[in-house]
Each structure stands twice: as C-alpha cells, then as structure tokens.
Amino acid sequence: MTGVFISFEGIDGAGKSSHIQALAQAFGASSSSAASSGRQVVLTREPGGTALSEKLRELILHAPMDALTEALLVFAARREHIVQVIAPALARGDVVLCDRFTDASFAYQGAGRGFDLETLSKLEHSAQDLRRLSADLASKIRLKHGILQPDLTLLFEVPPQVAAQRLAQARQPDKFESQDVAFFERVASGYAARAAADPQRFVRINGHQSLEHVRADVMAAVKARGYL
Ligand code: TMP
C-alpha cells in the first residue's frame, strides 16, 4: 500500500490551518473505511517537522539573511523532514498532511523575493531525490520525474488585502507576515503559476467564503481522488 502525500498552500492569512486539522480528523474517523483502509495520519509542517528542521524554522522566520542563505535553509529543513518523517511515513502507507511544501519556496523565495527560479528548481531536485537516500525506500514511494512530490496540493486562495486584514488581528508577525500587500500579491501569483504548471496535482480552494463552504470544498477535493 503506497502512502498519500497531501500538501496545503496559500499566502499567510489564507486560513488553511484549521482545515488541515479537520481533514486529519476526517481521515482518523474514517480509518476503517475501504478508501483509507486503516492508514495512520501524519500531520506535519514546513519549515519544520523534525527537531532540527524546527530549529531552522526559527532562523528562517526570524533572522534577517541573504536570499540564497534563506533558500538553502528552507531546502535543508525540507531534506531533513523528508528523510526523517515524510519518506518513512509514505513507505509505511500512511497519509501525510503537510502544512506547506516546496511550492511555498517557489512562491515566497521565488515570486515574493525574486530569487532565481532555476536555482530553486535545482535545490528541489536534489532535496527531493530519494534514490540517494535508499533504493528500497524509493521503490515503496510514488515519485514524479524521479523526485518526491505531493500527490495532491490544496491551494487556499484569498485576495491579499483580505489576508492582510486577517493577519493584522493575529499574533506578533514573523519576517514574512510583516511584508506588505505587494509582496503577498507576488507570492499569490507565484502560487498561481505553480498551479497552472501542474494542474493534475493542484486543487484551488476559494478561501474567501464561509468556513463551512471552504471545509466542504476541501473534503470534496480529497474524496474526488478516492483518498477518503
Ligand atoms: P506558516 O506560518 O504557514 O507555518 O508558514 C511559515 C512561513 O514560512 C510562511 O510565511 C511562509 C514561509 N515559507 C517560505 O518562505 N518558504 C518555504 O519553503 C516554506 C515552507 C515556508
């Protein structure tokens, strides 16, 4: 049984977090159904998901740094997360729900900061190459063009102005959350470009509607793939 890898993306303030929790509960509640056939659910996030990657998260979110340094750190955190958590879980046949993955690097470091996309693509290929890790592990996991990619990516979309208003009421902003609306407009267009380049993997969710409607759209997208 191959695992299922679902990532959740969107600009800060798009409101994805509560839906990830709800989806984890839905998978947990239906773990005896035929579709999810007793799969365990692994709920994780990026940057983060391991002790080392969480330390890198602190630096990435709070320390000022050069753009290449930032890109290297997000991929270093990701590699560790893949090796320690994501790949073993998928090889066991688990469902991995990951709050952000590589699309965030293309959207934030690439489109938001204007960092070179070709370098990001090279980093993506080496960090997500599982053949270097273990041929046995790689044989148990679905790879796309030789690298690990989510099976499904739910992209939560809200107008950047709306997201900014939501963030203004939230906690103390980190390095990214304190960027201006123009930055988030670029990030949103970076996400839209990634979605257009891989329409099979992405489902775009309108995050600017009631919580119930967003939740229904999330459940429908996952059920349409036969995962729930
Ligand atoms: P979160 O607050 O949704 O957990 O996301 C953490 C922040 O890190 C968010 O502002 C986006 C940013 N980020 C990047 O800049 N690049 C990445 O590759 C990832 C995964 C997150």
Binding site membership of 176 for ligand 1 (Cβ less than 6 Å): yes
Give the pLDDT confidence score for residue 204 in this predicted structure: 98
**Domains of the chain: total:** 1
Cα 6 to the center of its chain, rounded Å: 8
Cα of 7 vs centre of ligand 1, distance in Å, is 13
Distance CA 58, CA 11 (A): 19
Give the pLDDT confidence score for residue 39 in this predicted structure: 85
Contacts of residue 98, Cβ cutoff 8 Å, sequence gap at least 6: 5, 6, 7, 8, 44, 45, 46, 49, 86, 150
For the stretch 112-169, pLDDT in tens is 999 999 999 999 999 999 987 888 888 899 999 889 999 999 999 999 999 999 888 8
Q: Within 13 Å, how many C-alpha atoms sit on residue 223's CB side?
A: 9
Q: 85: domain range?
A: 4-224
Quote the mean pLDDT of the chain.
94
Distance CA 152, CA 97 (A): 10
Share of the chain above pLDDT 90, in %: 84
175: pLDDT strictly greater than 90: yes
Mean pLDDT of 87-103: 96
Residue 129 is part of a domain; what is its CATH number?
Answer: 3.40.50.300
- Relative to the CA of 176, which ligand 1 atom is closest? 10
Give all strands (DSSP E) within the chain, no chain letters. Answer: 4-9, 41-45, 95-99, 152-157, 202-206
Query: Is residue 215 classed exposed, middle or buried when 0-12, 13-18 and 19+ CB atoms within 10 A define those classes?
Result: middle
The residue whose two tokens read 């997360």 is 81
Cα of 33 vs centre of ligand 1, distance in Å, is 33
Say what the pTM is. 0.96
Query: What are residue 126's phi and psi, to 5 degrees?
Result: -80, -40
Binding site membership of 155 for ligand 1 (Cβ less than 6 Å): no
34: pLDDT strictly greater than 70: no
